[in-house]
Amino acid sequence: MAEVVAIADLHKYEGQDVTVRGWLYDRTDKGKLQFLQVRDGSGICQAVAFQNDLPEDVFAQIRGLTQESSLIISGPVRADKRAPGVPGGFEVGIKEAQILQIADEYPITPKDHGVEFLMDHRHLWVRSKRQWAILRIRSTVINTIRNWLDDHGYLLVDTPIITPAAGESTTELFQITYFDDVAYLAQTGQLYNEANMAAFGKVYCFGPTFRSEKSKTRRHLTEFWMVEPEMAFYSLEDLMDMEEQFVSAIVQRVLEKHKVELEILERDTSHLERVIPAFPRISYDEAVERLHKLRDEEVDPEKKALLDIEWGNDFGSPHETALTQQFEKPVFVYNYPTAVKAFYMQPVEGRPEVCRSVDLLAPEGYGEITGGSERIWDSQLMEDRVAKIGISRENYEWYLSLRRFGAVPHAGFGLGVERTVAWICGLQHIRETIPYARMLKRLYP
Ligand code: 4AD
Ligand code: MG
């Protein structure tokens, strides 16, 4: 058989014989002509079987192929603008074919299925065109995160997944048995990042994060991937400067590399093209004012109630959605009330009821994709905080000691991969942005 090539590379082989190995995505029966859609993971191409070109038994086999049967085909590559596929425009004329397995009746057909059914068949659903597109974009998002940080002087320092204490909040912890002790799955690598920051200056950790969120929203997973950069001597303003460069680089890289995938997802890319620095920055106070104005202007009583917010409360999804719809780019909201944020955030000087925190809210209603802050670096203040929230000092001794051995102002944030991918891909729900979603009611497959 001819040289094995990837469907994505077919354009390089026009006029030559090639071999393609993969699975049958779809087939159209035109009698003497069989139009196969073959996928190999890199793309989908049309492959044409003509009765007169093939031994009788081989043609009969092709005619009997079921969806997702595995096969190897060989023949010449022909350019044809009309040839469908991903990316399309080239087809293979089948001269030889070897069928590896005739697939059983495939549960996912081109007709519409309910989401729960598809999630139950996630191990097969990942083969579908839309899912293929989303997970390829996810891979590029992750890759760009790493490359950008590596190229900008950040060192990857891994943080533990099994931890003795809470990192973010004491609710939402997954508890595990650790020999004779209890331990928790990491909610964040941040506390360790702060130790590593003092060793390496600019660091990041990047791994799975666990939160036993009982919420059933379209933005929450119980297992999600978060990248967390942490920088010595960074202020809140430095943090926002860095975040807007970082997030823009991710979005622009996906635009560059994934035209085909974004087309499959029917994503309006004009929204993404605008994602370049600088991003608008508003304080929590201003955000609340804007929400009050929107509430007052709203005529629908139900929507009016949803928009209502009292100063001091955290934003819910309806608030974030409404806010982001006012901007064309991602928007930073900074200086949140201290009471709704984590214990380690630096209070604003002269106004301790708000803290030097910042969330980045994605446009088109997507809401929070990053959360970060300046960290308290004064030893006594941190001691007071830990005492006040009633977490056991013993488990935090190492963390507290960081404030006694060369404390410096520092800041960092976490970016959720899945929320970022959902926004870039324009998806309604976060569950399709991770290969195997874990949620309140989802642990299978
Ligand atoms: O705002 P969060 O909770 O921040 C932290 O964990 C900090 N320790 C990060 C830091 O400063 N180093 O989470 C950060 C981001 C959110 O903005 C969101 O994108 C994502 O993580 N995230 C979730 N994504 C999916 N499902 C969940 N349940 C998520 N919780 C947070
Ligand atoms: Mg947050």
Residue range 218-259, pLDDT digits in tens: 999 999 999 999 999 999 999 999 999 999 999 999 999 999
Beta-bridge partner residues of 37 = 26, 46
Residue 332 main-chain phi, psi, to 5 deg: -85, 135
Tell me which ligand sits closest to the C-alpha of residue 188: 1
Tell me which ligand sits closest to the C-alpha of residue 208: 1
**Placement of tokens 């996906």 in the chain:** 254
For atom 10 of ligand 1, which residue has the closest CA? 413
Taking the centre of ligand 2 as the mean of its atom positions, its distance from the CA of residue 36, in whole angstroms, is 48
Query: Is any atom of ligand 1 closer than 6 Å to the C-beta of 418?
Result: yes
For atom 17 of ligand 1, which residue has the closest CA? 370
pLDDT of 167 > 90? The answer is no
Pairing of strands 90-93, 44-50: parallel
Give residue 236's pLDDT: 98
- Name the band, by pLDDT with cuts 50, 70 and 90, for residue 17: very high
Residue range 192-207, pLDDT digits in tens: 999 999 999 999 999 9
Closest atom of ligand 1 to 420 CA is 19
Closest atom of ligand 1 to 228 CA is 12
Taking the centre of ligand 1 as the mean of its atom positions, its distance from the CA of residue 226, in whole angstroms, is 7
CA distance 28 to 141: 36
- Rounded average pLDDT over 66-77: 98
Closest atom of ligand 1 to 222 CA is 28
Closest atom of ligand 1 to 416 CA is 19
CA distance 356 to 349: 9
Give residue 391's pLDDT: 83
Question: Euclidean distance between the first and final Cα of the chain, in Å?
Answer: 37
Give residue 445's pLDDT: 98
Tell me which ligand sits closest to the C-alpha of residue 169: 1
Query: Is any atom of ligand 1 closer than 6 Å to the C-beta of 372?
Result: yes
If one compares 382 and 169, the residue with the highest pLDDT of the two is 382
- Name the band, by pLDDT with cuts 50, 70 and 90, for residue 165: confident
Taking the centre of ligand 2 as the mean of its atom positions, its distance from the CA of residue 276, in whole angstroms, is 23
Taking the centre of ligand 1 as the mean of its atom positions, its distance from the CA of residue 211, in whole angstroms, is 10
> Using an 8 Å Cβ cutoff, are 54 and 62 in contact?
yes
Question: How many Cβ atoms are within 10 Å of 153's Cβ, its own excluded?
Answer: 10
- Name the band, by pLDDT with cuts 50, 70 and 90, for residue 170: confident
pLDDT of 306 > 90? The answer is yes
Taking the centre of ligand 1 as the mean of its atom positions, its distance from the CA of residue 70, in whole angstroms, is 41
- Name the band, by pLDDT with cuts 50, 70 and 90, for residue 171: confident
pLDDT of 125 > 90? The answer is yes
- Rounded average pLDDT over 162-169: 87
Handedness of CA 155, 420, 192, 316 (dihedral sign): positive
Give residue 1's pLDDT: 83
- Rounded average pLDDT over 98-118: 95
pLDDT of 78 > 90? The answer is yes
For atom 4 of ligand 1, which residue has the closest CA? 371
Residue range 389-408, pLDDT digits in tens: 888 889 999 999 999 999 99
pLDDT of 355 > 90? The answer is yes
> Which of 226, 228, 375, 424 has most ligand 1 atoms within 8 Å of its beta carbon, as the pocket-test mutant?
226
Q: Percent of the chain scored above 90 by pLDDT?
A: 94
Spatial CA neighbour of 375 closest among 389, 357, 400, 395: 357
Give residue 80's pLDDT: 96
Task: Tell me what the pLDDT averaged over the chain comes to.
Answer: 96
Q: Percent of the chain scored above 70 by pLDDT?
A: 100
> Using an 8 Å Cβ cutoff, are 288 and 311 in contact?
yes
If one compares 44 and 395, the residue with the highest pLDDT of the two is 44
- Rounded average pLDDT over 13-26: 98
Give residue 111's pLDDT: 83
pLDDT of 87 > 90? The answer is yes
Q: Is 189 left (phi over 0), alpha (psi -120 to 50) or beta?
A: alpha
Give residue 223's pLDDT: 98
Tell me which ligand sits closest to the C-alpha of residue 227: 1
Give residue 217's pLDDT: 86
Query: Is any atom of ligand 1 closer than 6 Å to the C-beta of 413?
Result: yes
Structural domains of the chain ordered from first start: 3-101 (2.40.50.140), 122-280+327-433 (3.30.930.10)
Give residue 166's pLDDT: 84
pLDDT of 110 > 90? The answer is no
> Which of 333, 419, 420, 432 has most ligand 1 atoms within 8 Å of its beta carbon, as the pocket-test mutant?
419
- Rounded average pLDDT over 375-395: 92
For atom 11 of ligand 1, which residue has the closest CA? 413
Taking the centre of ligand 1 as the mean of its atom positions, its distance from the CA of residue 4, in whole angstroms, is 43
- Name the band, by pLDDT with cuts 50, 70 and 90, for residue 169: confident
Tell me which ligand sits closest to the C-alpha of residue 375: 1
Q: Which residues contact 346 (CB under 8 A, 6 or more apart)?
A: 355, 356, 373, 374, 375, 376, 377, 409
Taking the centre of ligand 1 as the mean of its atom positions, its distance from the CA of residue 422, in whole angstroms, is 15
> Using an 8 Å Cβ cutoff, are 403 and 379 in contact?
yes
- Rounded average pLDDT over 292-313: 96
Taking the centre of ligand 2 as the mean of its atom positions, its distance from the CA of residue 324, in whole angstroms, is 16
